[in-house]
Structure 1
Amino acid sequence: MKPILLCLALLPGIAHAAAPAADADAAFYDTVVQQAFEHYHLPGLAVGVIEDGKVVHVATRGELAAGEGRHVDGDTLFKIASNTKAMTAAVLARLVQAGRLRWDDPVTRYLPAFRMYDPWVTRNMQVRDLLIHNSGLGLGAGDLMLWPEPNHFTRQDIIAGLAHLKPAGSFRADYAYDNLLYVVAGEVAAAAGGMSYAALVRQEIFVPLGMDRCQVGEWSPAKAGNVAQPHYRKDGRNVVVGRDGDVASDFPSMAAGGVRCSLDDMLRWMQALLDPARAPGWLDATQRRALWTAHMPMPIGQRLRDWDNTHFLAYGYGWRLSDMDGQWKVAHTGTLSGMYSSLALLPDRRGGAVILINGEGEDARTALMQALLKRQTAPAAGHDVLHYAGLLERERAQRRSEGHVRPVLAPAVAVAAREFGADAGVWTDPWFGQVMLCPAGTGIAFAAVKSPAMRGQVMRSAGRPWVQWQGLGEDAEAWLEFSGEGAQRILRMRAIDPDIDFSYDYPDLEFRRVGDCP
């Protein structure tokens, strides 16, 4: 089979060498990075800024693991989460460039077992559709097959599960973010490229662009060294959760959000995207244009209108495209297991910024990225992180006043096994598989067979049963809702917190009882 890899000499310009920024810019960047680190109590932070194609500022703060004394630097590996999607799209673009596939090829040409709920959609789903969130699936549909991690779902399980996920809208009519179809895209790339997705990412991106620290597929954190660990906030402290073991596995959602890279790697990636001359022949003009074409319109939120005077927002292949203060912006964020990332490019200025955080950093990345980019798009404004932090808190207060808060439950008591009656047993959902609602001690335990992290105790508040998870936190808790009788008895789940992360895809679950407890 003809190799796809272009033999590119790694140009010295791809490896960044920080150029001196103006003193005022350097002071500003240092200030806002420190503000974000302190205000949001981050365990670790890595930030890079590019102007006119050159890296003008690099800043790192904090530790790989809180309290352990190993400091973050430019080589520290972070989970980039959904910023992986742009790399998956670039792999496919390289395959298109090499003539291995076409954007309008049907998915079934490469994956004959691929099925969507609607047979017409199955037949008409093209490779390009996998990347632009236009499938008709609901927001985050089927994400419970991806996380919480670790779980026992395979890529084959995910592809088979798609056939059972009922659409929430019409194919190609509306935007709704999903992750499962990026898993499919990774498998399409593997089928067309003749090797695993992980091998393709190394061959088509990491090697030609000199991203030497990046990791994909199965790898050894101990051997790689200098790896940031994810954190959650607990009792006012940053606590490591999901610490890496000896081997990081090639988990099924790799193509949707599994790559890890260092700050230095991400700056090389950004420079190659901003300036084709830094990697001659890597991607031609046609494929670069395809990645950053507005393929699917997206709704524009009030924040973008107010902060950036945004007039258009759309999804390209693995990227969100918009205008910011009258300038073109190409960006994405990533969130996964206690880590946050954000990458934004201003192509017409050959500028941008990247942020990597190993803790709970949603507001931190939003406020910091806004301050960093505004320095380039609207420098006269002079707003810092604390300004945007204040705006975010006002937004949150407004949402609270509108009822977007977790309801205060009536006093909860554990459901006794004897009172659960015939609802105790084994239940199954067509895509999620089996869960056990079975006696444990004097109570009832909920346990998902393929997702061991989804285990908890059944509680009752004001007569309504719900699950108190052992390790997921109260923001993931869900009501258990039973309906029907006999063979028509159905169990559904519904989030208690109205602002639950969309990846807790409870609305798509529909369990039926299939047997007694073992």
Structure 2
Amino acid sequence: MPSIPKMLHAAAIAAGLSIAFAASAEAPPDLDARVAEAMRATGVPGMAVAIVEQGKVVHAKGYGVSRLGSPEPVDADTIFPTGSTGKAVTTAALAVLVDEGKIGWDDKVIDHLPGFQMYDPWVTREMTIRDLLVHRSGLGLGAGDLMFVPRSSLSRAETVRRLRYIKPATSFRSGYAYDNLLYVVAGQLIEEVSGRTWEAFVRERVLKPAGMSASTTEDAAYFATANRVQPHARMDGGFRGIGNQEVLDERKGLGRNAAPAGGISSSAADMGRWLAIQLARGALPDGKRLFSEDASRQMWLPQVLVPIAPYPAPIAEATPQFSAYALGWSVRDYRGAKIIEHGGAVFGVQTMVVLVPDRQVGFSLQINSEDGVLLRGLMFELLDHYLDAPKRDWVADFAAFKKARDAKMLAAAGGGDAQKKPSRPSLPLAGYAGNYADPWYGPIVIRHENGRLRIDFKQTPDMAGTLEHRQYDTFRTRWDDPSIEPADVTFALDAQGKVDRITMKASSPLADFSYDYHDLLFTPQRDE
């Protein structure tokens, strides 16, 4: 998202060349007031900020409350789920094994995880550990995420086994498409090589040496921590992300099978320690190393180009000239500086982690809501501060961008409803009932009960709801849990007038990509 001065050429960035800067400035003196103002403007209940300068944590502080309507404050030790920013932690765990000589970044996955299998046998043979981490596998955006979003009953091993049934969207290594599933594979590989679960290995070999004592890798430890935030989201405005802030049920978030892709929870104080270690290229304060300097170089080395879509006004200046994905990190430019960053969003909580290596500055921003305009806005305001750019209200600019985008989406959705043609289902409702299954997700059941259709995703607890007719043979889900994204369900009939297959798509144009309903193809299980 950004622009580049004349002194720095895009070719230099693409080549990974370092540009020397003067020593960093102090943290903004009005930071506390600015955070409070931005939280009020965006309606975010609680936030935590950590800043590291020249190897020292200069700011680690909480703001607001852990739960809307409650007095418990957020402080430097309040833990937040950190979502996909944890991909860098899984990468660090792999780096520990690389440094010990137990694996190599370019080892074939099947040499360490014999049961691993992609849809294409050639890709199975060629997939390397590096490939697991850089989103170039050929899988589509978010493919397979419904195996753990929302929370699933599947084990991690079973989740990895089902990867073989997901058809690729593109050819292997041909381009970028963000996924979570291959980080689940990386977690399973860590278990296979180390003999310990991903949770135990990360806790003992990464978090503990890093001094991140408040951070957790497991549900039991997370829910045993009193000083934690509650998730919030806006769900009553037509689509998720629009309307009034509501408290969510924290036990319905990300499935633990997906923890290597985004299941770590951490505090501002611990994030400060993590930032300092990253900027120190793996060195610990006591002189020991968490991972080698060579591993650090590998982590930040661009591997695959990320397509750039220019941002419109008023945030056009946030468009990057260069954007790539490395090992668990995004690499981009902003105002001539190389930025190492990653965002994380999981069920009512969001995190942003940003490093400016040439300035020896890093910061993390954590909120207990889904109001990403605050995260992005404050990210660019802090970057402007440390890159000596004029002050600007980026939060307001991102809010204006979101307001215009949401209005456009709502208008389009309303237009679609207006174009619906009066119609009836082809079959009596009982004719749609039955047992169905998708090769990678597994079974669903559709029942005819009390004059209506009910749908139940059997491996996703509480993912059940009513099907309301929309037009022809398409129905819309009304999930019993309103925090689950609605979906449109379309039945296709065979020549005998029986259901031959079921396809789905998210009803909301703003739905998170992890609700990958469009990747599902359910067929009848008549033998059952």
TM over 0.5: yes
Aligned partners of 2:249 and 2:207: how far apart in 1?
26
My pick for the range that moved more, 368-377 or 218-227, is 218-227
The residue aligned with 2:300 is 292
- Whether the 8 Å contact between 1:296 and 1:314 is mirrored in structure 2 is yes
Q: Secondary structure at the match of 1:219?
A: helix
The residue aligned with 2:449 is 440
Identical counterparts, % of pairs: 33
Q: Deviations over 1:409-434 (max 9, x none)?
A: 68999999981243211111111111
Note the 1:172-321 alignment, pairs <5 A: 172-221=173-222, 223-233=224-234, 237-244=244-251, 251-276=256-281, 277-279=283-285, 280-303=288-311, 306-308=316-318, 310-321=320-331
1:469 is aligned to 2:479: yes
Give the CA deviation at 1:296. 1.1
Note the 1:334-345 alignment, pairs <5 A: 334-345=344-355
Identify the match of residue 358 of structure 1 among 368, 373, 385. 368
The residue aligned with 2:395 is 385
- Whether the 8 Å contact between 1:413 and 1:459 is mirrored in structure 2 is no
- Whether the 8 Å contact between 1:371 and 1:384 is mirrored in structure 2 is yes
1:425 is aligned to 2:434: yes
Aligned partners of 2:91 and 2:146: how far apart in 1?
23
* Amino acid corresponding to residue 188 of structure 2 in structure 1: E
Q: Deviations over 1:441-491 (max 9, x none)?
A: 221101111113321111112333222222145853223242434588111
- Distance change in 2, residues 1:234/1:392 (3 Å): closer
Identify the match of residue 58 of structure 2 among 52, 56, 59. 56
The residue aligned with 1:68 is 70
- Whether the 8 Å contact between 2:83 and 2:346 is mirrored in structure 1 is yes
- Whether the 8 Å contact between 1:219 and 1:249 is mirrored in structure 2 is no
- Whether the 8 Å contact between 2:343 and 2:353 is mirrored in structure 1 is yes
Q: Secondary structure at the match of 1:36?
A: helix
Give the CA deviation at 1:139. 0.4
The residue aligned with 1:5 is none
- Whether the 8 Å contact between 1:483 and 1:491 is mirrored in structure 2 is no
- Whether the 8 Å contact between 1:35 and 1:386 is mirrored in structure 2 is no
Q: Secondary structure at the match of 1:356?
A: strand
- Distance change in 2, residues 1:51/1:32 (3 Å): same
The residue aligned with 1:504 is 515
Aligned partners of 2:188 and 2:38: how far apart in 1?
38
Note the 1:68-107 alignment, pairs <5 A: 68-107=70-109
My pick for the range that moved more, 324-333 or 294-303, is 294-303
Q: Secondary structure at the match of 1:489?
A: strand
My pick for the range that moved more, 320-329 or 39-48, is 39-48
What are the ranges of 5 or more consecutive residues in structure 2 without an aligned counterpart? 1-23, 237-242
Aligned partners of 1:102 and 1:510: how far apart in 2?
37
Note the 1:131-146 alignment, pairs <5 A: 131-146=133-148
Give the CA deviation at 1:334. 0.6
The residue aligned with 1:33 is 35
The residue aligned with 2:383 is 373
* Amino acid corresponding to residue 305 of structure 2 in structure 1: P
Aligned partners of 1:133 and 1:74: how far apart in 2?
33
* Amino acid corresponding to residue 444 of structure 2 in structure 1: V
Q: Secondary structure at the match of 2:63?
A: strand
Aligned partners of 2:320 and 2:491: how far apart in 1?
41
* Amino acid corresponding to residue 254 of structure 1 in structure 2: A
Q: Deviations over 1:68-125 (max 9, x none)?
A: 2111100001000101100000100110011011111111112211111100000111
- Distance change in 2, residues 1:367/1:485 (3 Å): farther
* Amino acid corresponding to residue 353 of structure 1 in structure 2: F
Give the CA deviation at 1:398. 6.0
* Amino acid corresponding to residue 163 of structure 2 in structure 1: L
- Whether the 8 Å contact between 1:105 and 1:126 is mirrored in structure 2 is yes
- Distance change in 2, residues 1:221/1:155 (3 Å): closer
Q: Secondary structure at the match of 1:330?
A: strand
Q: Deviations over 1:165-191 (max 9, x none)?
A: 110001001100001100000011111
* Amino acid corresponding to residue 486 of structure 2 in structure 1: A
Aligned partners of 2:379 and 2:78: how far apart in 1?
20
RMSD: 2.9
Aligned partners of 1:113 and 1:164: how far apart in 2?
14
What are the ranges of 5 or more consecutive residues in structure 1 without an aligned counterpart? 1-19
- Distance change in 2, residues 1:465/1:386 (3 Å): closer
- Whether the 8 Å contact between 1:79 and 1:259 is mirrored in structure 2 is yes
Aligned partners of 1:52 and 1:278: how far apart in 2?
14
My pick for the range that moved more, 70-79 or 202-211, is 202-211
Aligned partners of 2:254 and 2:261: how far apart in 1?
15
- Distance change in 2, residues 1:43/1:323 (3 Å): same
